[in-house]
Amino acid sequence: MTPPAKRTTSADVARAAGVSRATVSYVLNDRPGQSIPEATRRRILDVAQRLEYRPHGTARSLASGRSDIVLLAVPDLPIGASISRFVEELAAALAEHGLTLVTHLAGARGRPLPDVCATVGATAVIGFTPFDPDAVRALQRAGAQVVLPPAADGDAAMVPIGRIQAAHLIDRGHQRLGYAVPAHPDFEQMAAERLRGATDACIAAGLAPPLSASVGLDLQTAGRAVTDWIAAGVTGVCAFNDETAMAVLAAAVHHGIRVPAELAVIGVDDIPVAPLAAPPLTSVRFDLHAVARRRVDLIVAGLAGQEPSPESPAMAAVQLIQRSST
Amino acid sequence: MTPPAKRTTSADVARAAGVSRATVSYVLNDRPGQSIPEATRRRILDVAQRLEYRPHGTARSLASGRSDIVLLAVPDLPIGASISRFVEELAAALAEHGLTLVTHLAGARGRPLPDVCATVGATAVIGFTPFDPDAVRALQRAGAQVVLPPAADGDAAMVPIGRIQAAHLIDRGHQRLGYAVPAHPDFEQMAAERLRGATDACIAAGLAPPLSASVGLDLQTAGRAVTDWIAAGVTGVCAFNDETAMAVLAAAVHHGIRVPAELAVIGVDDIPVAPLAAPPLTSVRFDLHAVARRRVDLIVAGLAGQEPSPESPAMAAVQLIQRSST
DNA sequence: GTGAAAGCGCTAACAC
DNA sequence: GTGTTAGCGCTTTCAC
């Protein structure tokens, strides 16, 4: 039969160390202002280690009200590997504050986010795209103390990406730009932000805004976009992401259009296969580390009761990876 | 100031419905053998809905011992979009059983898995690659009642993939096969399983086992592998995954080797950009849905106290997506 | 059929 | 400094 595998409880530790459970609690959470003799302290820590004691998070959070669990809601998008880098950064940064990150994939057939939030007892919920006020309210009622991004804010971080892309092409002499928006409707909002960045760059350079076109991951739609662009005199295209960029690339090659001579293409994310494209794809990569830290700061501040936070709007450090597609 | 946002508690529902908390609990969990009048039942359900009552998972699991939370441990690998499809299937299948799935990305800088398990109070833990006995024990002590895959078992599901790949190439007349193992060390185990499948297929067809070579996501290593293969008379290559396959493809093109005429290549996963490769990449896609259901069955059985489960070894339904790289 | 009461493992006042 | 005590929100036996 399955071993019931009794967990080690805080009482076990207390007994083995010859102190009370309260003392154990104090030591393990090293609460300040409880001058406990170093000897006792060490003994308790020792015993806990030896017994492989692991605080029962469930009980702890019930008692304390806090849970130290942060829930990351990932939209059900065909997101690539870049997201896992972000998640990892986030988890690491949160861990430094004693917070535990778990992820929930939003998919329609799974459970609704507020349910998940209530089930795991998350203290904070982080999303990729901003939550609307109703969603925020629902999450709060489900126990979340902090919900990010709060309003239509966070996506401001997307703007610089488009700007960098366009600026790069403009730098290289392109005067008429195209923008490839992915066909997937869920990307719409994000794409609009990035396009805005590209538009800003064009206007700042005295050029016309980019000619945007919808591009799916197939030669059909990509081909149509490419011919339209060429017809309009576009010589450089910013793609929403690398997948879309690769579709543009493939379509250009398919139509006998030389890249980058006749059409330059730049993506976003620097996915693993980007260097393997023909020609290798120029891409833009943003500093997930910085973004993650920023998010974590906001959470920690929020949990500590401070309102939103002082400053720092969109400090997404964006890095350009130049390859031969531009 | 931030609204404290008092949660609706089961007591609130009880009061509003004019019954006791016990009754509310019975109705909401519809426990059998508690013949409760349909009228009361409906009233309680109604009130709960109206009050947006959401059971406090934390308290519930503390009281009941169960938690209905399943933790998926995702290895920190450059896994692509296929994983998110799998996660989604899993979440949906679990939801049907009232179980909630959350994911933890394993990364070294995050918190150790047993800690996460204890913190969220997971009832079951699912991994991608088998856990060794020590890990299983640690997770059990952290509160997990079921841990999958238990031993070096689950990966048997990988074998058919390699088999199908090789069989496809053999079918198309290839007599000498190559196998592209990814350079990333963490894929080693999985790759070995898939290679085993490919080897099986070769032997069954009276051919020599595939010539395996390590291929990173760069032209360097891929190029070396390709020239080695060509020198050895290899005409068809099974790649561990699509990324690796695309590296092989790119290297072949770079070396002026025609695909598929001189070298055919087949990948795994059918990632979004696979059709965009030059030439479009033949791939193998497995039925995540079936795999997910299988996993869920094992979990539900395990949670119900039944041991491992009756049968069904490796029923991964594998589907071939034929494109022009083979 | 429904309610009262005893905890689940832990934290946090408050006494000693 | 350390132990005692009262819950956190819920489930679950056991009376009514």
- Predicted pLDDT at A315: 54
Strand D nucleotides where any atom sits below 7 Å of a protein CB: 1-5, 7-13
- Indicate the residue of B54, B118, B276 with minimum beta-carbon distance to A246: B276
Q: How far is the CA of B19 from the C1' of C3 (A)?
A: 8
**Cα distances (Å, whole numbers) of residue B250 to A60, A224, A242:** 54, 25, 17
From chain A residues 171-210, the ones with a CB under 8 A of any chain B CB are none
Are A269 and A285 in contact, with CB atoms under 8 Å apart?
A: yes
Would you identify the CATH topology of the domain B69-151?
Rossmann fold (3.40.50)
- Predicted pLDDT at A79: 66
Name the minimum distance, in Å, from the CA of B169 to any CA of chain A.
Answer: 24
- Predicted pLDDT at B309: 54
Q: φ and ψ at A239, to 5 degrees?
A: -105, 150
Quick: pLDDT tens for B245-265: 999 999 999 999 999 999 999
Residues of chain A with CATH 3.40.50.2300: 69-151, 157-287
Whether the pLDDT of residue B312 is over 80: the answer is: no
- Predicted pLDDT at A147: 92
Q: Is A111 exposed, middle or buried (0-12, 13-18, 19+ CB in 10 A)?
A: buried
In angstroms, how far is the first alpha carbon of chain A from the final one?
64
Cis before A260 (ω within 30): yes
What letter would DSSP give residue B325?
Answer: T
Give the whole-angstrom CA distance, residue A325 versus residue A245: 10
Most distant CA pair in chain A, distance: 83
Grade residue A1 by pLDDT with cuts at 50, 70 and 90: very low
The token pair that represents A223 in the structure block? 């081909």
Give contacts of A7 with chain B, Cβ < 8 Å. 141-143
The region of weakest confidence among B13-27, B170-184, B203-217 is B13-27
Q: For the whole model, what pTM was predicted? A: 0.88
For residue A219, the Cα-to-chain-centroid distance in whole angstroms is 29
3-state secondary structure of B281: coil
**Cα distances (Å, whole numbers) of residue A9 to A13, A19, B125, B232, B258:** 7, 14, 21, 62, 65
Are A116 and A104 in contact, with CB atoms under 8 Å apart?
A: yes
- Predicted pLDDT at B1: 35
Report which of B253, B262, B254 is spatially closest to residue B233, judged by C-alpha positions: B262
> A117-143 as b/e, with b when 16 or more CB fall inside 10 Å?
bbbbbbbbbbbbbbbeeebbbbbbbbb
Give the whole-angstrom CA distance, residue B183 versus residue B222: 10
Give the whole-angstrom CA distance, residue B11 versus residue B277: 60
> In what order do the strands lie in the sheet containing A177-182?
A211-215, A177-182, A236-239, A264-266
Residue found by looking up tokens 């700061």 in the block: A297
What is the length of chain B? 326
- Indicate the residue of A104, A119, A247 with minimum beta-carbon distance to B57: A119
Helix, strand, coil % in chain A, rounded to nearest 5 = 45, 15, 40
Are B238 and B174 in contact, with CB atoms under 8 Å apart?
A: no
Q: DSSP letters along B174-212, please? A: --SEEEEEES-GGGHHHHHHHHHHHHHHHHHTT-PPPEE
What is the length of chain A? 326
Contact B52 A140 (CB under 8 A): no
Helix (H) or strand (E) holding A15: helix A10-17
Sign of the dihedral defined by the CA atoms of residues B303, B308, B312, B315, in that order? positive
Quick: pLDDT tens for B54-97: 999 999 998 988 899 999 998 877 666 778 888 999 999 999 99
From chain A residues 155-174, the ones with a CB under 8 A of any chain B CB are none
Give the whole-angstrom CA distance, residue A1 versus residue A171: 70
Q: A239 has which bridge partners?
A: A180
Are A98 and B116 in contact, with CB atoms under 8 Å apart?
A: no
Q: Identify the closest residue of chain A to B108 by CA–CA distance.
A: A92
Q: Does domain A10-54 bear CATH number 1.10.10.10?
A: no
Give the whole-angstrom CA distance, residue A70 versus residue A146: 9
Residues of chain A with CATH 1.10.260.40: 10-54
Average pLDDT over residues A174-196: 93
- Predicted pLDDT at B79: 67
Asked whether residue B272, judged by its CB, lies under 7 Å from any atom of the DNA or RNA strand C, the reply is: no
Q: φ and ψ at A86, to 5 degrees?
A: -65, -45
Q: φ and ψ at A50, to 5 degrees?
A: -60, -40
| Runs of H (alpha helix) within chain B | 10-17, 21-28, 38-50, 57-64, 82-95, 113-120, 133-141, 159-171, 188-204, 219-231, 242-254, 288-303
Q: A214 has which bridge partners?
A: A181
- Predicted pLDDT at B173: 97
Name the minimum distance, in Å, from the CA of B127 to any CA of chain A.
Answer: 14
Put residue A15 in one of left, alpha, beta given phi > 0 → left and psi -120 to 50 → alpha. alpha
Grade residue A316 by pLDDT with cuts at 50, 70 and 90: low
Are A133 and B71 in contact, with CB atoms under 8 Å apart?
A: no
Whether the pLDDT of residue B294 is over 70: the answer is: yes
**Domain spanning B157-287, CATH class:** alpha beta
- Predicted pLDDT at A153: 54
